[in-house]
Amino acid sequence: MEYGPRPDADFTRRCIACLASIPRGRVATYGQIAGMCGDPRAARQVVWILRTRSDSENLPWHRVLSSQARISLPGEGGRRQRAMLEAEGVEFDPDGRLDLARFRWNAG
């Protein structure tokens, strides 16, 4: 059994649809996705949804970053995420941040 936050079903559905819409070469933040789905304070629930549903829903988990425009995953996971983003044309500065003004996804 897995433990963690349990987002309501409507939020989860909206979040999955939103995450699936992030286009190649663009990124979003956890808080941005939460806000787009109706609860700007639910960034941790977005993390939980990505953690538990990315594989089954085929979500582009690698396109979601922290509000500081950084990869949150440590170690190999973070290196994999960065490589996937770079393969899509996303560029990082020497400190490991990216320019949200340039690469942030602006839905609609």
Q: Cα–Cα distance between 20 and 8 in angstroms, integer?
A: 18
- Average per-residue pLDDT in the chain? 92
- What pLDDT score does 4 carry? 52
The C-alpha R_g of the chain, in whole angstroms, comes to 13
Boundaries of every domain in the chain: 9-90
Q: What is the pTM of this model?
A: 0.90
**CA-wise closest residue to 42 among 54, 30, 52:** 30
Q: Which two tokens stand for residue 48?
A: 């939980």
Domain 9-90 has CATH 3.40.50.720: no
pLDDT tens for residues 47-62? 999 999 999 999 999 9
